[in-house]
């Protein structure tokens, strides 16, 4: 990381608009802004963020530019100092040009109108809330069981028939569980996340057990070992341990691999479901309603005042109003995640 400061003779209200203009010229993606600082990320040729740049102003006209490497696969090798130097050079160049041409006033006015919602027209009416289904726990559970069976049978067959790659299978399983279960939750309108986490854990365990039983069934069928029960099969597997190429890691290695086969898909699926549920909560709210609610928030309206305003424009059900606040919370979560 690297920090560098410089001083400008721009007025206090001109600095933030020009910082945004510099980021736009450099094509750095702004991920956060407030009255004192702006954060942006720079992407490399592979469209992957490599640096996070934070620019902070003080009331005395002092500006601090801080660049931090977020691509941990490579050393800094001076990239952060180059980044801060580039920002300062472009800022000073634009400050001189825009002051001479008068564009700095135009830029500042445009920014203030945007942040103060000066051009926003309050809608006389709002789009009606989208009809929402009653949450269906039964169908959600049935969907989860079906996912466990399908993925478990598939993984068991592939593990026994082809080569098993530790970590790769778990990653794919987690992504598939997350995708399929997210769609089921969307259709059943079930959003109780604490219970959803338990169900995802149940699905991950179900996939593991069904996969293991599928392997057992294939082995006893092919080898004609019909006298061996599933529990005896498990005992033999544990006693044999886990072979990694020529290394036998023993029973402990096998048990640890089994724990990994349950926990890794669980955490991956949980993360994917959480993201999809937040996206779904935003999709449920019409754009005009979301924009109006954000406008009220930006004008320091309290929750009760926002609910009253929404109610006056047709959103009088508490459930519909709760959905609006949930969507705003999801947007904030995405913005916070984007800053990391």
- Give the per-residue pLDDT at 77: 59
For residue 73, pLDDT over 70 is answered with: no
What does pTM read for this prediction? 0.75
- Give the mean model confidence (pLDDT) for residues 304-312: 93
Percent of the chain past pLDDT 70, that is, above it, reads: 94
Q: Which residues are 194's β-sheet partners? A: none
- Give the mean model confidence (pLDDT) for residues 200-225: 90
- Give the mean model confidence (pLDDT) for residues 313-340: 87
- Give the mean model confidence (pLDDT) for residues 2-11: 89
Listed in sequence order, the DSSP H helices in 224-302 are 230-240, 250-283, 287-298
What SS3 class is residue 181?
A: helix
Pick the more confident residue, 17 or 133: 17
- Give the per-residue pLDDT at 239: 84
Specify the residue for token string 């005395």.
60
- Calpha distance 237→119 (Å, rounded): 70
Residues 6+ away with beta carbon under 8 Å from 71: 44, 48, 49, 50, 51
- Give the mean model confidence (pLDDT) for residues 196-214: 96
* Secondary structure in 3-state letters for 104-142: HHHHHHHHHHHHCCCCCCCCCCCCCCCCCCCCCHHHHHH
For residue 172, pLDDT over 80 is answered with: yes
Overall residue count recorded for the chain in this entry = 340
- Give the mean model confidence (pLDDT) for residues 232-253: 80
Pick the more confident residue, 241 or 27: 27
Pick the more confident residue, 263 or 119: 263
- Give the per-residue pLDDT at 75: 55
Strands 49-57 and 247-248: unpaired
> Both tokens of residue 98?
């825009």
pLDDT band at 309 (very low <50, low <70, confident <90, very high): very high
- Give the mean model confidence (pLDDT) for residues 39-49: 78
What SS3 class is residue 184?
A: helix
- Give the per-residue pLDDT at 72: 56
pLDDT band at 245 (very low <50, low <70, confident <90, very high): low
> Which helix (DSSP H) or strand (DSSP E) does residue 91 occupy?
helix 79-101
Tens digit of each residue's pLDDT (9 = 90 or more) over 175-200? 999 999 999 999 999 988 899 999 99
pLDDT band at 64 (very low <50, low <70, confident <90, very high): very high
């Amino acid at each position: 990381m690297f920090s560098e400061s410089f001083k400008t003779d721009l007025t206090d209200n001109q600095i933030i608009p020009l910082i945004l203009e510099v980021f736009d010229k450099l094509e750095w993606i702004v991920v956060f802004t407030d009255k004192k600082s702006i954060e942006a990320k720079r992407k490399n040729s592979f469209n992957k963020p490599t640096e996070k740049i934070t620019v902070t102003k003080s009331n005395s006209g002092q500006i601090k530019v801080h660049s931090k490497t977020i691509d941990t696969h490579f050393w800094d090798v001076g990239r952060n100092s180059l980044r801060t130097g580039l920002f300062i050079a472009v800022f000073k160049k634009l400050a001189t040009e825009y002051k001479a041409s008068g564009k700095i006033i135009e830029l500042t006015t445009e920014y203030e109108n945007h942040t103060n919602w000066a051009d926003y027209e309050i809608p006389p009416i709002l789009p009606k809330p989208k009809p929402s289904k009653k949450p269906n726990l039964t169908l959600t559970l049935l969907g989860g069981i079906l996912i466990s069976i399908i993925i478990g049978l598939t993984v068991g067959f592939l593990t026994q028939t082809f080569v098993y790659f530790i970590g790769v299978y778990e990653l794919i399983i987690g992504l598939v569980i997350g995708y399929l279960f997210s769609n089921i939750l969307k259709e059943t309108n079930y959003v109780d996340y604490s219970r959803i986490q338990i169900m995802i854990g149940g699905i991950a365990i179900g996939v593991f057990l069904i996969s293991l039983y599928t392997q057992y069934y294939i082995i006893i069928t092919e080898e004609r070992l019909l006298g061996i029960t599933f529990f005896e099969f498990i005992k033999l597997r544990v006693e044999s341990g886990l072979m990694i190429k020529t290394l036998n890691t023993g029973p402990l290695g096998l048990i640890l691999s089994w724990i990994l086969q349950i926990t890794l898909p669980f955490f991956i699926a949980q993360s994917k479901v959480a993201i999809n549920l937040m996206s779904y909560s935003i999709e449920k709210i019409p754009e005009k309603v979301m924009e109006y609610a954000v406008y009220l928030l930006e004008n320091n309206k309290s929750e009760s005042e926002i609910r009253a305003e929404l109610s006056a424009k047709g959103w009088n059900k508490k459930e519909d109003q709760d959905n609006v606040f949930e969507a705003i919370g999801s947007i904030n979560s995405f913005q916070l995640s984007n800053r990391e």
